Amino acid sequence: MIPAIEKAILTASLGLTPSNDGKIIRVPIPSLTEERRQELVKHIHKIAEEGKVSVRQSRKVANENIKKLEKDKKVSEDDSRRTQEQIQKLTDEAIAALDQLIAKKEKELLTL
């Protein structure tokens, strides 16, 4: 498992370089300089954006399913519209929660 763990740490794009002696993996953690903190903030924003894209993709799929049900006359137009509004509300809440988490983590990282 050691080579797999070492490879995972390297591919995580965290700027860490693990070393192993065959039994133990050592990961020296560099001190957090201002530059390193900014890099971590950029990484957090990248991960958060991927999360937002995922939420929006889920919204798209759900809306397509609702529209298909409406087209097949399995739900009424009003129910379809109401459900799409609920889906949009849930999407907005999820994105707002992500934004709050980003702001909290960014503040935490940039605080000395």
Could you state, in order of their start, the residue ranges of all structural domains in the chain?
1-30, 31-110
The phi and psi torsions of 82 (rounded to 5 degrees) equal -60, -45
Cβ density class 101-111: b for 16+ within 10 Å, e for less: ebeebbeebee
- How confident is the model over 17-57, as pLDDT tens digits? 888 888 888 988 878 888 888 988 998 999 999 999 999 99
Supply the pTM of this predicted model: 0.73
Alpha carbon dihedral 10, 13, 14, 18, in 10-degree steps, equals: 10
Topology of domain 31-110, CATH: Topoisomerase I; Chain A, domain 4 (1.10.132)
* Distance separating alpha carbons of residues 81 and 63, to the nearest angstrom: 10
Task: Return the structure tokens found at 87.
Answer: 């889906």
- How confident is the model over 42-95, as pLDDT tens digits? 989 999 999 999 999 999 999 999 999 999 999 999 999 999 999 999 999 999
